[in-house]
Amino acid sequence: MVKTGFSSMHVQACLVSSVILNLLFVTYIYLGGQWNLSWSSGAAAEAEAVTSAGHGRVYLVDDENTEPGSECNSAGPDYSHFSTNCIADANSWTSGAAAEAEAIAAVSCSGHGRVYLDGLVDDENTEPVCECNSCYSGPDCSRFLTDCILDANSGDPLFLEPFWKQHAASSAVVVAGWHRMSYKYNNNVYISKELERLIRKLHAVVGNAVTDNSYIIFGAGSTQLLTAAAYALSPENSSSPAAIVASVPYYTLYQQQGEYFNLAKFKFEGGAHKWMNKSDSSTYTIEFVTAPNNPDGRLNKPLLEGPNVKTVYDRAYYWPHYTPITAQADEDLMVFTLSKLTGHAGSRFG
Amino acid sequence: MVKTGFSSMHVQACLVSSVILNLLFVTYIYLGGQWNLSWSSGAAAEAEAVTSAGHGRVYLVDDENTEPGSECNSAGPDYSHFSTNCIADANSWTSGAAAEAEAIAAVSCSGHGRVYLDGLVDDENTEPVCECNSCYSGPDCSRFLTDCILDANSGDPLFLEPFWKQHAASSAVVVAGWHRMSYKYNNNVYISKELERLIRKLHAVVGNAVTDNSYIIFGAGSTQLLTAAAYALSPENSSSPAAIVASVPYYTLYQQQGEYFNLAKFKFEGGAHKWMNKSDSSTYTIEFVTAPNNPDGRLNKPLLEGPNVKTVYDRAYYWPHYTPITAQADEDLMVFTLSKLTGHAGSRFG
């Protein structure tokens, strides 16, 4: 979340273009059918020209449509006619997927694992198999591994899974095969306005952040947004890279990402306290303020200030299930993440 | 797709860590309910410790579960008991979502637009509204805009949408609210082994690529993979950046991304032909070979070779609906993308 008056429009544009909107829905790749399409050759340039036509689109016809009651096979077998853009078996196209999901969800895996629709399948490639929790094994996850070593280095928000199971009906979603195929949303934007509206509503209901006069920017997890923020706040043509700093102890990912990308624009420099007497220097400094802090939970405050200091607030844990919400956060640049709010870490959304 | 014997293990590790696996499912953020959790305070460090426990998890209880027939409310109102990890209303939790999806899909928008489950809602915030195709307007997209300017600069693979509507039942997926919440897949990996298996099977069925002895690496669209490949193939500690080149005419994104990231390791240098007499030079060169080419559809071949030359094959359009498949591609590093195969450009998967 970035304040509208913050820095310059350059920063906004930079941040927006830094992040990639990721909405990947499970797609059943249609391996069984024939790839008989109405135009089976022709170069990529042709494809681009055809697909860019917008309204008057070329429609595909295939001859493997075996779904009962389909009204979509009006095209002749010579592919000389274009089919209409209709839904095959329009009145019950969701029932198979619904039954499949309920059957999968009913597999208990002894309470020590789970089966997913897109999970591993057994040797005969027919049924998904149980994926066991750490320290459990066997086809139904019933075997406890006594010599198992537990990795307590980092967290995984699976503790929120029962909440979603208790709200199974209200959280279920049917994804159609043609869901949001375009690169863009309506009106030529890459950001879902509806999702943005819900995020503002959420912060208002919870009371943990002011979203008025702010831009909402999406990323593939807050991981991506943190680097995007550092990139956007670093000066464009500086002789030396901007220094990224944070209070000790800090989240190790800040350092890992800074070192990994090895950018000309910024460099991770460690503890912010070392820079407290240098804040009047000419070095451009970006302080990551993590509140609550990872790993110690403290509500950190910035150590640095000055004309060459910018502050990025990592608000990942500023939700009522981690810390008392005593006030609405209202900083210029705040980063939140779905993984800590709802537990959907695997969805990569911040 | 990267050959196992290609370059060094460093390249593999680098590529793997360059890309982010994005599986974002639509999540209905539960705004209506109370956020009454079984432990409403406590610091982030506590949360990490609890969540890392793996098997013996802390379960949440809320008191707003109003779904009929729920067996998940065994905990007392004082939150002193932990609920079991059960699915509320286990026998019909998908029916509401199924009915909702069918109702949405039945809205025709005059054949000039579509309604999505996660789409914009009207002023009363009750029903999603039609999102019209370019040059159409009105609540039901029936109004043709006569002064409309058509943007033919780039493509959008909506021409494949009718295929998925014709296979509505077999492509529908019900996503449960607790689907893949963890950061990782089973066995501590970030890559879906099942998806990898299906990708190999797909290339074998289509006959457009050899996948034996290759790694399959996922990215947020081939856009991300192209930059990841350039990053991985650039030397680590070179005095000058590696040169990225491509045959003219080339896909403009190569240039845009190279200039945008402004990395120390590589720089976009334009047409490959200018480097044909320099290929024995000490400058490290990475050639993007686009086959079929964007924008002209030609099956490009590499122009450069030599000990300091690496080649990245952009195979986005090497599918039978764009070009005849005359042979299985078998290069060391090939990039494919879901957007050109199935038309799901918005899903960002390559």
Which residue in the set B57, B85, B172 is minimally distant from A93, CB to CB? B172
Beta bridge partner(s), residue B104: none
Tokens of A98: 């619904």
Q: Which residues contact B33 (CB under 8 A, 6 or more apart)?
A: A167, B62, B64
Report the CATH fold assignment for A2-21+190-347: Aspartate Aminotransferase; domain 2 (3.40.640)
Nearest CA-CA distance, residue A301 and chain B, Å: 16
Nearest CA-CA distance, residue A7 and chain B, Å: 20
Which residue of A151, A182, A206 is the best one to mutate when testing the B interface, meaning the one whose CB has the most B CBs within 10 A? A182
B85 contact residues in A (CB cutoff 8 A): 111, 161-162, 165
Assess contact for A194 and A225: CB atoms under 8 A. no
Tokens of B78: 């004082």
pLDDT at position B24: 28
A-B CB pairs within 8 A amount to: 536
B100 contact residues in A (CB cutoff 8 A): 174
Rounded Cα distance between A3 and A9, Å, is: 11
Helical packing angle, B222-233 and B9-18, nearest 10°: 150
- Report the chain B residue with the minimal C-alpha distance to residue A20: B220
Beta-carbon count within 10 A of A63 CB: 13
Three-state SS string over chain B comes to: CEECCCCCHHHHHHHHHHCCCCCCCCCCCCCCCCCCCCCCCCCHHHHHHHHCCCCCCCCCCCCCCCCCCCCCCCCCCCCCCCCCCCCCCCCCCCHHHHHHHHHHHCCCHHHCEECCCCCCECCCCCCECCEECCCEECCCCCEECCCCCCCCCCCCHHHHHHHHHHCHHHHCEEECCCCCCCCCCHHHCCCCHHHHHHHHHHHHHHCCECCCCEECCCCCCHHHHHHHHHHHHCCCCCCCCEEEEECCCCCHHHHHHHHHHCECCEEEEEEHHHHCCCCCCCCCEEEEEECCCCCCCCCCCCCCCCCCEEEEEECCCCCCCCCCCCCCECCCEEECCHHHHCCCHHHCCC
Nearest CA-CA distance, residue B2 and chain A, Å: 21
B143 φ, ψ (degrees, to nearest 5): -90, 120
Cβ contact (<8 Å) for B58 and A177? no
Q: Let me know the angle formed at the C-alpha of B241 by B239 and B244, rounded to the nearest 5 degrees.
A: 155
B87 contact residues in A (CB cutoff 8 A): 105-106, 165-166, 168
Cβ contact (<8 Å) for B26 and A27? no
Beta-carbon count within 10 A of A80 CB: 9
Largest CA distance in chain B: 79
Where along chain A do the CATH 2.10.25.30 domains lie?
100-171
Scored b (16 or more CB within 10 A) or e, B97-117 reads bbeebbebbeeebbebbbbbb
Where along chain B do the CATH 2.10.25.30 domains lie?
95-171
B339 contact residues in A (CB cutoff 8 A): 183
Which residue in the set B20, B111, B194 is minimally distant from A120, CB to CB? B194
pLDDT at position B323: 97
Assess contact for B131 and B119: CB atoms under 8 A. yes
What's the CATH number of domain B95-171, 3.30.460.80, 1.10.10.10, 2.10.25.30, 3.10.450.50?
A: 2.10.25.30
Tally the residues of chain B.
350
Cβ contact (<8 Å) for B93 and A169? yes
pLDDT at position A337: 96
A247 φ, ψ (degrees, to nearest 5): -65, 145
Where along chain A do the CATH 3.40.640.10 domains lie?
2-21+190-347
H or E stretch including A197? helix A193-206
pLDDT at position A125: 62
Rounded Cα distance between B285 and B269, Å, is: 10
Nearest CA-CA distance, residue A264 and chain B, Å: 6
Assess contact for A202 and B31: CB atoms under 8 A. yes
Strand-pair category, A285-290 with A242-246 = parallel
Beta-carbon count within 10 A of A224 CB: 22
Q: Which residues contact B135 (CB under 8 A, 6 or more apart)?
A: A54, A55, B144, B145, B148, B150
Rounded Cα distance between A306 and A245, Å, is: 14
Tokens of A284: 């451009």
Assess contact for A160 and A341: CB atoms under 8 A. no
Residues lower than pLDDT 70 in chain B:
5-84, 122-125, 279-281
Rounded Cα distance between A30 and B128, Å, is: 29
In terms of Cα–Cα distance, which of B195, B321, B197, B128 is closest to A25? Answer: B195
Nearest CA-CA distance, residue B4 and chain A, Å: 23
The residue type found at A177 is G
In terms of Cα–Cα distance, which of A133, A86, A210, A198 is closest to B26? Answer: A198
pLDDT at position B214: 96
pLDDT at position A155: 80
Beta bridge partner(s), residue A245: A270, A287
In terms of Cα–Cα distance, which of A317, A202, A343, A14 is closest to B262? Answer: A14
Rounded Cα distance between A233 and A10, Å, is: 10
Cβ contact (<8 Å) for A292 and B43? yes
Rounded Cα distance between A34 and B332, Å, is: 28
pLDDT at position B155: 80
Cβ contact (<8 Å) for B48 and A155? yes
pLDDT at position A238: 80
The residue type found at B175 is V
pLDDT tens track, chain A, 350 positions: 888 765 443 433 333 333 222 222 222 333 333 333 333 233 333 333 333 333 322 223 333 433 333 345 443 333 333 445 788 777 799 999 999 999 999 999 999 999 999 987 766 667 778 999 889 999 999 999 998 887 777 788 999 999 999 999 999 999 999 999 999 988 788 889 999 999 999 999 999 999 999 999 999 999 999 999 999 999 987 888 999 999 999 999 999 988 888 777 899 999 999 998 775 568 899 999 999 999 999 999 999 999 999 999 999 999 999 999 999 999 999 999 999 999 999 999 99
Q: Residue B194 region, left (φ>0) first, then alpha (ψ -120 to 50), else beta?
A: alpha
Locate tokens 């999540």: which residue?
A: B27
H or E stretch including A132? strand A131-132
In terms of Cα–Cα distance, which of A240, A19, A18 is closest to B260? Answer: A18
Strand-pair category, A309-314 with A334-335 = parallel
Cβ contact (<8 Å) for B98 and A96? no
A100-171: CATH number: 2.10.25.30
Which residue in the set A60, A95, A345 is minimally distant from B98, CB to CB? A95
- Collapse the DSSP code of A17 into the 3-class scheme (helix H, G, I; strand E, B; otherwise coil) and give the result: helix
